[in-house]
Amino acid sequence: MSDLEENLRPMAHSASNRCFGCGPANASGLQLEFLLAGDGAVVALPTVGDSFEGHPGYLHGGIIATLLDEAMSKATRARGLTTMTRHLEVEYLRPVPSGAPLRVEGRVVRGEGRRHWVESKILDTSGTVLAEGRGVFVEVRR
């Protein structure tokens, strides 16, 4: 499904930062850009290069976990919350290819006080789920 058919819209980003996952000021990071879907989910459509490989041709497991974690974090951010990862589970279902277009989705499942349960997944262009993440994120109050 194309971005237009889905009605994805840009997600406002805070000031330039050095976050490894999404920071535009981090030249060696992933520099993920997230979009908002109509159902409240966040979506990124990256092609992650071979400098992030583990086994040749496939992304390193830590990078896969980072993609899932970042999508969950942005899902809470889309609700106006500032959160940090408390607990993260990753299920590696299939190898995630490097240099190929991917779809990374995140959504908040429920919230209770400062805790928020979030899910994410990585899909290939045919819609096959390659990895899934579940996490608990805790709201940081200043």
Q: Binning pLDDT at 50, 70 and 90, where does residue 12 land?
A: confident
Class of CATH domain 3-139: alpha beta
Buried b (16+ CB within 10 A) or exposed e, 7-34: ebeebeeeeeeebebbbeeeeebbebeb
Burial class, 5, CB count within 10 angstroms (exposed 0-12 / middle 13-18 / buried 19+)? exposed
Mean per-residue pLDDT over the chain, rounded:
91
Segments in 46-134 forming alpha helices (H) = 61-77
Domain extents in the chain: 3-139
Residue 119, pLDDT score: 98
* 118 to 35, 41, 56, 121, 128: CA distances (angstroms): 17, 10, 31, 11, 20
pLDDT at 65 (0 to 100): 98
* pLDDT recorded at residue 19: 84
Determine the average pLDDT of the residues in 84-103. 98
With a pLDDT cut of 70, the percent of the chain lying above it is 94
State how far the alpha carbon of 85 is from the alpha carbons of 17, 48, 50, 58, 75, in Å: 18, 23, 27, 25, 12
Beta bridge pairs of residue 120: 106, 133
Task: Please give the helix or strand (H or E) that residue 123 lies within, else none.
Answer: strand 115-123
Q: Is the pTM of this model over 0.85?
A: yes
